[in-house]
Amino acid sequence: MSNIFILGSGSFGLAIANIAACVESNNVTVWSAFKDEIDALIKDREHKQKLPGVKISEKVRFTDDITKAQNADIIVFGIPSSFVRSVAKNVKPYTDNCKCIVNTGKGFDESTLKLLSVTIAEEIPDKPVVVLSGPSHAEEVAIGIPTAVVAASDDASSAQLVQDTFSTPTFRIYTGTDPKGCEIGGALKNIIALGAGVCDGLGCGDNTRAALMTRGMTEIARLGVAMGAKTETFAGLTGLGDLIVTCTSMHSRNRRAGILIGQGVSATDAVKQIGTVEGYHCCKAAHQIAKNYGVEMPITEGLYAVLFEGADAKDILGKLLSRPQKKEI
């Protein structure tokens, strides 16, 4: 019997709750900081704004009381990057019985530019952290559409525990030993998805998107390797896999925000309209991290200029295309 406590009752927290509930031996509780969100979930068993049309399993319990985490064997973070550190601080006193923490968030802690798993480990230092990542739109995970992801950790037995606890006939989990690479791929692909959306909004075509994705993967891997990740991780589910799904699907809020920006909506208005757009925050963080590591990331730099310096998206695309000619590899 595993007691699973999921922090965050948004799209992905609820999708993982539905997956966890498929395993008979799991007890699943979802927590939100917002009482009105929990009250609506108890009443409707559906999140009408974040995951409309998806019924949450009758097995899942809801609470706004974070002290209930104290019975949990596994605590899952389904929290946007901006709030991960504060939620980790709040849950820390109730983690004594917890065997491992799972991070599903994709981004960096903005104030320190650290990975979210590192942020969680700083706040809850005595527990192993597992990164659960890969091409996994909540809208599809939640209704049992076949999906494959990676549970990666420096602690092999915790990665195995997550694989054993959350695997279902439609949710296949591989274990991995490069949590840093898995997390960096998952975070940085959101920047490229925003960029792909901008190109779509500008009226570019499939060729443009394919070029952006491929050159985007090159710069993601370049920064990842400089930060200590393994090159081969970026060819896997959490790298290439997640990049493909995010850049090509209308489920992606990053891509949808990008399309609005390409069509002339300001970046701040686009983010306000769409909601959680991790690529926006991640672009700011990655721009600074790339500077710190001395790594060239032309697409990230171009998008940063559009999002935060008022540059014109069409001009930036022109600049990217007219960079000095070079060899591909």
Ligand X SMILES: NC(=O)c1ccc[n+]([C@@H]2O[C@H](COP(=O)([O-])OP(=O)(O)OC[C@H]3O[C@@H](n4cnc5c(N)ncnc54)[C@H](O)[C@@H]3O)[C@@H](O)[C@H]2O)c1
Cβ-based nearer residue to ligand X, 54 or 317: 54
Strands of the chain (E only): list them.
2-7, 26-31, 60-63, 74-77, 100-103, 108-109, 114-115, 129-133, 147-152, 171-176
Q: Is 138 in the site for ligand X (CB under 6 A)?
A: yes
**21, 50, 163, 213: residue in contact with ligand X (rule CB under 6 A):** 50
**137, 189, 255, 256: residue in contact with ligand X (rule CB under 6 A):** 137
Binding piece for ligand X, criterion CB under 6 A, among 32-40, 123-131, 199-207, 233-241: 32-40
Sign of the CA dihedral 54, 58, 59, 60?
Answer: positive
Contacts of 153 (CB under 8 A, 6+ apart): 100, 128, 129, 130, 131, 159, 162, 176, 177, 179
* Active-site annotation holds for 59: no
List the beta bridge partners of residue 77. 7, 103
Q: Give, as one character, the DSSP assignment of residue 178.
A: -
**69, 72, 76, 78: residue in contact with ligand X (rule CB under 6 A):** 78
Cβ-based nearer residue to ligand X, 136 or 165: 136
For ligand X (CB under 6 A), the number of binding residues is 26
Binding piece for ligand X, criterion CB under 6 A, among 76-84, 123-131, 221-229, 310-318: 76-84
At position 84, the amino acid (one-letter code) is V
**3, 26, 29, 32: residue in contact with ligand X (rule CB under 6 A):** 32
Please state the closest distance from residue 74 (CB atom) to ligand X, in A.
16
Cβ-based nearer residue to ligand X, 117 or 316: 117
Binding piece for ligand X, criterion CB under 6 A, among 21-29, 100-108, 264-272, 304-312: 100-108
Cα–Cα distances in angstroms (integers) from residue 232 to residues 178, 185, 262, in the given order: 10, 11, 33
CA distance 301 to 259: 18
Please state the closest distance from residue 35 (CB atom) to ligand X, in A.
11
Q: Is 119 in the site for ligand X (CB under 6 A)?
A: no
Show the tokens assigned to 4.
């699973």
Please state the closest distance from residue 191 (CB atom) to ligand X, in A.
12
Q: Which of 95, 157, 86 is nearest to 119 (CA)?
A: 86
Q: 3-state class of 176 per DSSP? A: strand
Q: Is 216 in the site for ligand X (CB under 6 A)?
A: no
Pattern of binders to ligand X over 51-70, x per CB under 6 A?
--------------------
Query: In b/e form, how buried is each residue of 61-91, taking b as 16+ CB within 10 angstroms?
Result: ebbeebeebeebbbbbbbbbbbebbebbebb
Instruction: Write out the DSSP string of 102-152.
Output: EE---SEETTTTEEHHHHHHHHSTTS-EEEEESS--HHHHTTT--EEEEEE
CA distance 247 to 324: 26
Residues 270-289 that bind ligand X (CB under 6 A): 275-276, 278
User: Which residue of the chain is nearest ligand X when measured via CB?
Assistant: 10
**106, 180, 189, 256: residue in contact with ligand X (rule CB under 6 A):** 106
Q: Decide: 179 and 130 in contact? Cβ < 8 Å.
A: yes
Q: Is 81 in the site for ligand X (CB under 6 A)?
A: yes
Annotated active-site residue in 189, 272, 319, 327: 189
Q: Is 9 in the site for ligand X (CB under 6 A)?
A: yes
By annotation, the residues acting in catalysis are 189
Contacts to ligand X by CB under 6 A: 8-13, 32-33, 37, 50, 78-81, 83, 87, 104-107, 136-138, 275-276, 278
